[in-house]
């Protein structure tokens, strides 16, 4: 009966005119309560993994490996948590904005370079540097005031 009603009212014809992206977007739209729950769950998981990574840093032999894995996974979860609030497409558009493109690129590349520098090159100092870059440029990608603070800090370090 609903199918007949939609055909007679013209809704079926309007549905055929939609693009694939519009159809996918309509099918995957979450309610606000679900978005907040997803954000909190991913953010708490990311923060817990990051803190756990720092805590296991001093475990003999395997601590450095666990630190890199947990810290990187925590940052990726934290990054994904904000996608629940604004949606993946809107977040990607903001991340690729002209003023944030460099920070986004460094933030996305840093976890991989941290893992490569630790596991492949066996250089913990370089891996730690990339972990710090993850944190700094993640905050620069999302928080407006942090960009000015980072630029001021770099200019003070270079003097």
Could you read off the pLDDT of 52-101 as tens digits, one per residue?
988 888 888 888 888 888 888 888 888 888 888 877 778 778 778 887 77
Task: Judge if 21 and 77 occupy the same domain.
Answer: no
Task: Judge if 80 and 149 occupy the same domain.
Answer: yes
Q: What share of the chain is helix, strand, coil (3-state, %, to 5)?
A: 85, 0, 15
How far apart are the C-alpha atoms of 121 and 54, rounded to whole Å? 21
**Does the pTM of the predicted model rise above 0.75?**
no
Task: Judge if 9 and 87 occupy the same domain.
Answer: no
Task: Judge if 77 and 21 occupy the same domain.
Answer: no
The number of distinct structural domains making up the chain is: 2
Q: Angle CA(141)–CA(146)–CA(150) in degrees, nearest 5?
A: 100
Task: Judge if 35 and 74 occupy the same domain.
Answer: yes
Task: Judge if 35 and 25 occupy the same domain.
Answer: no
Task: Judge if 1 and 75 occupy the same domain.
Answer: no
**Is the pLDDT confidence value at 141 over 80?**
no
User: For residue 23, what are the domain limits?
Assistant: 1-29
Task: Judge if 103 and 88 occupy the same domain.
Answer: yes
How far apart are the C-alpha atoms of 149 and 137, rounded to whole Å? 12
Host H or E run for residue 132: helix 124-142
């Amino acid at each position: 009966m609903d199918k007949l009603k939609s055909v007679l009212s013209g809704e079926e014809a309007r549905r055929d005119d939609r693009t694939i992206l519009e159809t996918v977007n309509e099918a995957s739209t979450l309610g606000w309560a679900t978005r907040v729950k997803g954000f909190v769950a991913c953010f708490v998981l990311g923060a817990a993994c990051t803190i756990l990574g720092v805590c296991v840093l001093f475990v003999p032999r395997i601590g450095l490996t666990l630190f890199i894995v947990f810290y990187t996974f925590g940052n990726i979860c934290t990054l994904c948590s904000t996608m629940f609030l604004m949606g993946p497409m809107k977040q990607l558009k903001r991340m690729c904005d002209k003023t944030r493109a460099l920070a986004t690129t460094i933030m996305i590349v840093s976890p991989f370079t941290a893992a490569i520098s630790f596991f492949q090159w066996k250089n913990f100092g370089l891996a730690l540097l990339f972990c710090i870059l993850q944190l700094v440029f993640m905050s620069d990608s999302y928080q407006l005031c942090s960009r000015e603070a980072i630029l001021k800090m770099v200019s003070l370090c270079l003097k």
